[in-house]
Structure 1
Amino acid sequence: MDPLSDVLSLLKPRSHVSSGFDAGGDWLIQFSDLHERIKCYAVVSGRCWLSVDNVADPVRLEAGECFVLPSGRPFRLGSDMALTPVDAVSIFPPARAGGVVTVNGGGDFFLVGSRFTVSGQHARALLRTLPPIVHIRKESDQAALRWSVERMMAELREPQPGGFLVAQHLAHMMLLQALRLHLADGVGNQVGWFSALADRQMCAAITAMHAEPAYRWTLQDLAERAAMSRSAFAMKFKATVGETPMDYLTRWRMTLAAERLENSGDSVSTISFSLGYESESSFSAAFKRVMGCSPRQYRRNPNGVPFAPSGTNVARETQIEMTAN
């Protein structure tokens, strides 16, 4: 799979709520407690403001535009940011699929989309690699999402047998299409794994690591994939992704290992060899530095295990251990 598919597969997005929102008059709603959730919506009619925590300026949303909030941050949505916000819990019913929630009689603004929950103990770390807001503005790009939005509306307004599954698949399509369009449109000077996918050279190197995580990649190998000199590649990768190529490779291997420890019966030895380590001890040492515990401890109790910050320098020692064994 490609890197975007790899990460979204590990997040295991599951449509928790696919619904519509119809508002009228003046309103402002605060959405909190969104840990490990992704929101993907399209504005069908009307306009509103969107403000996400730790993002400097509110975003104006117009009819036809789509937006994705992949980072799980609290946000506010409303007709006027100066109003006193109302907590979403007091407006929206308990999580359910389908239906339309109405505020102030509706009629001025209509939104349709889905909220995803994601699973896996490393979900939080992976969500941090995605941008806080993906905003699709171009009319040509919006057309790519129009069919999914229209079908979603039909499923909500005219329930049919199997409608829940249809809405779920449509929501997944909306999420993937929005992220693709965001990458194609360019992501500016943002730093991080997701932003790097928009760079042809960096994407080539990341794709190679994802395609063959067990391969004994060297800095020179990856630079050649990016068609760059080794020094220029190393500098650009660090500036674009936020960590060195070898640190990224090690962290990706440990993410794959954590997934298998949690969801398969494969032995630690089998996992270590499949990821390119010639000894279980070298793999276990690398895993502990990245994940904060041994592979066996993680398998027994993955809940709450900390994922090391992106700046953790684990790759150099891991490469030495892999070479020595």
Structure 2
Amino acid sequence: MNDLDVLAELLKTIRLVSVFHSRWIVRGPWIVQGDADHCAVLHYTLGNSCYVKISGQPPILLRPGDLAIFPYGTPHTLGDGSAGPARPLRSVLPERRLGESAIVRIGDKGALTELMCASLNYDPGGEPPLYRSLPPVFVLGKPELANEPLLLRTLESLVPETERREPGSPLVTLRAFEMVFVLALRVALRKLTVDSPALRALSHPGVSRALSAIYGEFQQPWTLDLLAQRAGMSRSSFAKTFRELVGEGPALHLTRRRVREAVELLKYTKTPLSSIPEMVGYKSSVGFHLAFRKILNDTPGRYRANHGLTGCQPCTDES
């Protein structure tokens, strides 16, 4: 498995489960402070310009036609660049029910700014292990989007689609946002710089070999010693370097990878629950259940009952 294959794992299982979207029609001066979200956030500028800002970083100008995505909902402000206190998002959007939409209107004077914004809720069980190493925000400018025709056409089609109220419209809107999200992530991966944690991890000879083992051979009975041997490093040096570059230890990273594979089997196949532990690298069902609960705070049986394919029978060997 090469670096591109490992990076592709960042996209493989990202699936949106719900979306809240809003159309913003605002006039200055305006500035809104968003909260930390347990989801991705998208801002697509339709008219005029605005700024997004993360604490401790310089403001980012969004021009008409630019797309900004916060992969894991880092708190930020959105506004016209004016000074003054920010109003909290809950004051302009008191309720954000999943699957619904809203129109936000602020001010009645000054230049008109229009945006399409969305909270993209993805299945946390499908969050790839390296996902959190992505930058907190990335912006795709209008010229970049012009070179991504499928992404651009989907974005442009989303604007009128979000206003339709026909049978099936919510599902169409959800899948269209999912398409935008995944296509935008693909472009973002190509833009990773040498300072990106994900790229630094993949560029390190030893850590990259260990990551390839974790991603491509997760069923094997890996231990810290065996992964260090694969990396060609001492045990202590490997554990320290892996944690510094990846953001967590090798054992936890491997557990996340195995649990993510188990989630795929539980949700999208009818594989017997008793067969899954060995398929994802566990010698016993007890070890598998403990790992699953550690990552998702749930049991495999309950997870399948709540999220699995229609027709899958709930398991009876656990609560």
Q: Given the two structures, how large is their TM-score scaled by the length of structure 1?
A: 0.67
Following superposition, the deviation at residue 49 of structure 1 comes to 1.6
1:133 aligns with 2:134: no
1:186 aligns with 2:192: yes
Mark the CA change 1:221 to 1:287 in structure 2 (over 3 Å): closer, same or farther: farther
Q: How does 1:70-89 map to 2 (within 5 A)?
A: 70-80=71-81, 82-89=83-90
Distance 1:115 1:27 in 2: 20
Give 2:278's match in structure 1, choosing from 254, 261, 273.
273
Distance 1:56 1:272 in 2: 44
**What are the Cα deviations for residues 140-195 of structure 1, in whole angstroms up to 9, with x where unaligned?**
34542321221011223565554333322221121112211111122341324xx4
Q: How does 1:1-325 map to 2 (within 5 A)?
A: 12-32=15-35, 34=37, 36-53=38-55, 55-80=56-81, 82-92=83-93, 94=95, 95=97, 97-98=100-101, 100-105=103-108, 108-120=112-124, 128-137=132-141, 139-144=143-148, 145-157=151-163, 161-192=167-198, 195=199, 206=211, 209-215=214-220, 219=227, 230-231=232-233, 240-243=245-248, 248-257=253-262, 270-277=275-282, 279-280=283-284, 284=287, 288=290, 292=294, 298-299=299-300
Q: Calculate percent identity across the aligned residue pairs.
A: 22
Unaligned runs of 5+ in 2: 304-319
Task: Report if the CA contact (8 A) 1:73-1:132 is conserved.
Answer: yes
Matched residue SS, 2:123:
coil
Mark the CA change 1:92 to 1:4 in structure 2 (over 3 Å): closer, same or farther: farther
**What are the Cα deviations for residues 215-248 of structure 1, in whole angstroms up to 9, with x where unaligned?**
356548966xxxxxx3499698665424565653
Distance 1:72 1:207 in 2: 28
**What are the Cα deviations for residues 185-216 of structure 1, in whole angstroms up to 9, with x where unaligned?**
22341324xx4687597778646643442135
Distance 2:129 2:32 in 1: 27
Task: Report if the CA contact (8 A) 1:72-1:127 is conserved.
Answer: no
- Give the letter aligned to residue 88 of structure 2: D
Matched residue SS, 2:116:
strand
Instruction: Quote the residue 2:308 is aligned against.
Output: none
Distance 2:34 2:64 in 1: 21
Task: Report if the CA contact (8 A) 1:21-1:110 is conserved.
Answer: yes
Following superposition, the deviation at residue 88 of structure 1 comes to 1.8
Q: Given the two structures, how large is their TM-score scaled by the length of structure 2?
A: 0.69
Unaligned runs of 5+ in 1: 224-229, 303-325
- Give the letter aligned to residue 241 of structure 1: V
Distance 1:271 1:147 in 2: 40
**What are the Cα deviations for residues 80-105 of structure 1, in whole angstroms up to 9, with x where unaligned?**
36321112222236335456432224
- Give the letter aligned to residue 70 of structure 1: P
Matched residue SS, 1:19:
strand
Distance 1:139 1:210 in 2: 34
Matched residue SS, 2:158:
helix
Matched residue SS, 1:110:
strand
- Give the letter aligned to residue 170 of structure 1: A
Alignment RMSD (CA, Å): 4.4
Mark the CA change 1:187 to 1:174 in structure 2 (over 3 Å): closer, same or farther: farther
